[in-house]
Structure 1
Amino acid sequence: MKNRNEERKRRFRSLTLNLSSQKARTTIVTMGLATSVFSIFIGVVAVQLIAGGSSKGLAGRILHSISAHSLSGVMSQELPMYASIAPTPTLADSSASPKGLSNMLLYLFTDIDAGNPLTMLGFQVPGMAVSDFRLLTPDPSYTTPPSDEHASKDAPPPNLNAKPREKADDSEKPPVNNNEPLVYIYHSHNRESFLPDLKPGTKADNAYDAKLNIEQAGGAMRDELEKDGVPTLQTLVDYWSVGDFDNAYDFSRPTIQKVLSEHKNLQLIFDIHRDSLPREKTTTTINGVDYSMVYFIVGGGNNPHAEKNQATATKLHEYLKAKYPTLSKGVWMKGPAPYDTRYNQDLDPNMVLIEIGGPGNSLEEEKRTAKVLADVIAQYLKDIDALSPEVKVSAEQPTKQQQDAAKRQEQKQAGTGN
Structure 2
Amino acid sequence: MKKFDHERKRRFRSLTLNLSSQRARTAIITMGLATAVFSIIVCVVAVQLITGGQSKGLAGRILHSISVHSLNGVMSQELPMYASIGPTPTLAESNASPRGLSNMLLYLFTDIDAGNPLTMLGFQVPGMAVSDFKLLTPDPTYTVPPSDDHADKNAPPPNLEAKPREKVEDVIPANNNEPLVYIYHSHNRESFLPDLPQIQNADRAYDAKKNIEQAGSAMLEELKKNGVPTLQTLEDYWTQGSFDDAYDYSRVTVQKVLKEHKDLKLIFDIHRDSLPRDKTTFNIDGVDYAMVYFIVGGGNNPHSDQNQATATKLQEYMNKMYPGLTRGVWKKGPASYDTRYNQDLNRNMVLIEIGGPGNSLEEEKRTAALLGKAAAQYLKDIKALSPEVQVPVEKPLTKQQQDSQQRQEQKQQGSN
8 Å contact 1:177–1:231 — kept in the other structure? no
Deviations 1:135-167 (A, max 9, x none): 1111222212211236542122111111111x2
Which residue matches 1:232?
230
Report the alpha carbon displacement of residue 119 of structure 1 after superposing the two structures with TM: 7.2
CA distance in 1, matches of 2:270, 2:225: 20
Report the alpha carbon displacement of residue 328 of structure 1 after superposing the two structures with TM: 0.5
Query: What secondary structure sits across from 1:337 in the alignment?
Result: coil
Report the alpha carbon displacement of residue 175 of structure 1 after superposing the two structures with TM: 0.8
**Cα 1:349/1:118, change in 2 over 3 Å:** farther
Which residue matches 2:239?
241
Which residue matches 1:198?
196
- The code of the aligned residue for 2:391 comes to V
Which residue matches 1:156?
156
Query: What secondary structure sits across from 1:240 in the alignment?
Result: helix
Correspondence for 2:88 among 97, 109, 112: 97
Which residue matches 1:351?
349
- 1:247-258 correspondence to structure 2 within 5 Å: 247-258=245-256
Report the alpha carbon displacement of residue 134 of structure 1 after superposing the two structures with TM: 1.5
CA distance in 1, matches of 2:227, 2:344: 28
RCO (CA 8 Å, sep 6+): is it higher in 1 or 2? 1
CA distance in 1, matches of 2:233, 2:282: 29
Query: What secondary structure sits across from 2:388 in the alignment?
Result: coil
Runs of 4+ in 1 over 4 A off after TM superposition: 72-75, 116-121
CA distance in 2, matches of 1:406, 1:71: 61
8 Å contact 1:292–1:366 — kept in the other structure? yes
**Cα 1:343/1:119, change in 2 over 3 Å:** farther
Query: What secondary structure sits across from 1:331 in the alignment?
Result: strand
CA distance in 2, matches of 1:279, 1:231: 33
8 Å contact 1:146–1:275 — kept in the other structure? yes
Which residue matches 2:139?
139
Share of identical aligned residues, percent? 68
Correspondence for 2:401 among 397, 401, 404: 404
CA distance in 2, matches of 1:407, 1:135: 32
Which residue matches 1:286?
284
Which residue matches 2:167?
168
Structure 1: which 5+ runs fail to align?
1-57, 76-92, 409-418
Which residue matches 1:305?
303
**Cα 1:96/1:331, change in 2 over 3 Å:** farther
Deviations 1:255-283 (A, max 9, x none): 00000000000000000000000000000
Query: What secondary structure sits across from 2:249 in the alignment?
Result: helix
**Cα 1:312/1:119, change in 2 over 3 Å:** farther
- The code of the aligned residue for 1:277 comes to L
Report the alpha carbon displacement of residue 187 of structure 1 after superposing the two structures with TM: 0.1
Which residue matches 2:80?
71
- 1:36-75 correspondence to structure 2 within 5 Å: 71=80
**Cα 1:330/1:407, change in 2 over 3 Å:** farther
Deviations 1:352-372 (A, max 9, x none): 000000000000000000000
**Cα 1:201/1:255, change in 2 over 3 Å:** closer
8 Å contact 2:295–2:329 — kept in the other structure? yes
Which residue matches 2:178?
180
Report the alpha carbon displacement of residue 293 of structure 1 after superposing the two structures with TM: 0.3
Deviations 1:225-248 (A, max 9, x none): 000000000000000011111000
Report the alpha carbon displacement of residue 173 of structure 1 after superposing the two structures with TM: 1.2
Report the alpha carbon displacement of residue 121 of structure 1 after superposing the two structures with TM: 5.0
- The code of the aligned residue for 2:329 comes to V
8 Å contact 1:326–1:406 — kept in the other structure? no
Query: What secondary structure sits across from 2:390 in the alignment?
Result: coil
- State the structure with more CA Rg: 2
**Cα 1:363/1:117, change in 2 over 3 Å:** farther
CA distance in 2, matches of 1:244, 1:119: 27
| Matched residues, number | 322
CA-atom RMSD in angstroms = 3.5
CA distance in 2, matches of 1:406, 1:177: 46
Which residue matches 1:380?
378
CA distance in 1, matches of 2:289, 2:268: 20
Which residue matches 1:222?
220
Which residue matches 1:209?
207
Which residue matches 1:3?
none
Report the alpha carbon displacement of residue 73 of structure 1 after superposing the two structures with TM: 9.5
CA distance in 2, matches of 1:335, 1:201: 34
Query: What secondary structure sits across from 1:391 in the alignment?
Result: coil
**Cα 1:119/1:257, change in 2 over 3 Å:** farther
- The code of the aligned residue for 2:168 comes to D
8 Å contact 1:279–1:360 — kept in the other structure? yes
Give TM-score, length-normalised by structure 1. 0.70
Give 1 or 2: higher helix fraction.
2
**Cα 1:232/1:328, change in 2 over 3 Å:** same
Report the alpha carbon displacement of residue 201 of structure 1 after superposing the two structures with TM: 4.4
Which residue matches 1:11?
none
